[in-house]
Chain A
Amino acid sequence: MYISQDKRRTVQRHGLIFAFAIFLVVVSFSSPEFVTPGNILNVIRQVSITGMIALGVTFVVITGRLDLSVGSMLTFLTVLVVDQHNQVGPGLAMLMTLAAGMLIGVVNGFFVGFLKLNALIVTLAMLSLLQGITLFYSGGSNVNVDNAQETWFGFFGRGELFNVPMPVWFFLGAAAIASFVLLRTTFGRWIYSVGGNESVSLFSGVQTRWVVLSAYLISGLATGLAAIIMGSRVMGAQNTIGQGYELTVLAGIILGGTSMLGGSGTIWRTVIGISMLGFVQNGLLLLGFPYYIQWLVTWVVIILAVWIDLAAKRGKVFA
């Protein structure tokens, strides 16, 4: 669906940031520790796992599809990396995890890209399948990393470089690479064109099915990376560790302004969206609200953000 763009777009883009800025100001007044570098770094570290996953899902969303399996994927892969760490050592465990993530992505990509099944349902089915596989693999119990204090595996989730936590480096580094791929490579062009208009792309010689499969593969890879960081941080995994992540990831992408219809959007929008969500949640906690208030606020923020975006594009508030 094509909507004409014009100057109003800048209003909408800035409108959200403006509202966010107001929020930041309000919170800073009530809790001065909000704007300290320590807290900011803390927030970015917290969102780096969700953010890493969101980087991968962004590729899928730009092609006009969804990946709801990432939460269960995260659970399974974290359990996998932690458990295998104790069995074959950290290095091999990490490789296995990345490979598993990519494999799951390929399966998703096959159903959605080649068989052309509905992405929402396929990834929902995968969500269920992965939960089952996780339960099977773990036998229902939690797993923990052996010698958590000594293993070099801890570097990924707990290490620091120049006083910045490693997860942040990984997240921002991955974001930079992802952004480069999307904006500057042929593959990135294909992602945008498949999302923009799939049949035109096909007629222009783009191998659309492979492009969609690759998007899901990237999503799986990103989730694998996130699982490594998560496992490294927590040094253990329960069967529910990834539950709900798919929603937060989607919420972050939506907030960032990437269209669910596909064909547009950028990595940096996702980064901003996920970060905003993180800061909102953090700010609310600092203001003393219980964690479930975040959910309510997220609801309102998503609705407002998308509505403003739509209204700006079509020029009127109501449909």
Chain B
Amino acid sequence: MNLPNYEFLSAPLWLVTALHLLTLTLHFAAMNFLFGGLIIVLHAGLRKRWDDPTLVKFVRLFPAAMAATVTLGVAPLLFLQMTFPKPVYSAAIVSGWFWLGVIGAVIITYYALYWCSLRSERTGRISRSALLLAVAGLVYVSVVYSSVFAMAERPGLIHELYAKNQSGLVFNPATGDYALRWLHMVLGAVTVGGFFVGMLGRNETVTFQTGKAYFVGGMALASVAGIAYLMTLQPILAQLMQTPASWVLLVAILLSLGSLHFFFKKIFCMSGTMLFVSMLGMVYVRHIVRLLRLGDQFRPDSFRIAPQWGPFALFLACFVIALVVVAYMLWLFFGAKRAERGDIMQSVSQETGPR
């Protein structure tokens, strides 16, 4: 039967990959702010600082950070499914219930964050239980993601696990594949969280110092976990080092160190940019590791390329317009003239009431 064949990519692979890596880095930036920030606030709270005004202020940002994390997570998932459908879906199916549980965990986390934010707004204190619940939710999500995506790199393991159990209650037993990577990611989140705490609390010595401690400490520990993870890649490490990814990794490490330098000088724009580009580099290296691990078992470049330039151009236009509109709204919110605080109704009648 002569029906359209769906096994194609609707844009060149390099373009889809670039979009995937860029949007994934944006997702990581938001996720790290949230996850790292949560861990830092929790840690500070355990040191009896539940009513610290700066932390309270920070907690109020979490629901928005969660919204950004979820929203920015949609696009990379889309591009990932487009380029690696077979390994990703297969691994997700084998761990079906855990995979679906991610949604439940995120919903609980989201409401816990709103609860925490609204309560801190009302009482000036942070809800410990809500915060703990949110952290637990994010830990669950991060572990499941790590396990499923690690499984997706080993089709042989998927076959083996599926043959034994088809219920979707299989958790990737090859923890050696992902435990260190997960730890590296969590410590990376603490690093980025530290950066944001320091930046937002730049005018308050204690808060800045707290952020600095987490930024530096997190980066040191993340580096150790990262190197240890690289060592676990032994069968493909040599191959990895022969690709441009090794240079990208080196530049990413240098950029991380550079971001520390500018952070100390409180030049946050430069520090943040270097940190972001460094993350982008790490994400690229992670992508190459995935390709090397999959080898010939699954090759995204085996897809036929049949570009849909019209829809792509529309996407690009919409993307640019979206950026402009978001910037405009943020300008309205943060930059433009504000209504009188505390008496919105008064300002309403002054501005738009009947003449």
Q: Do A and B bind each other?
A: no
Name B residues whose Cβ lies closer than 8 Å to a Cβ of A.
none
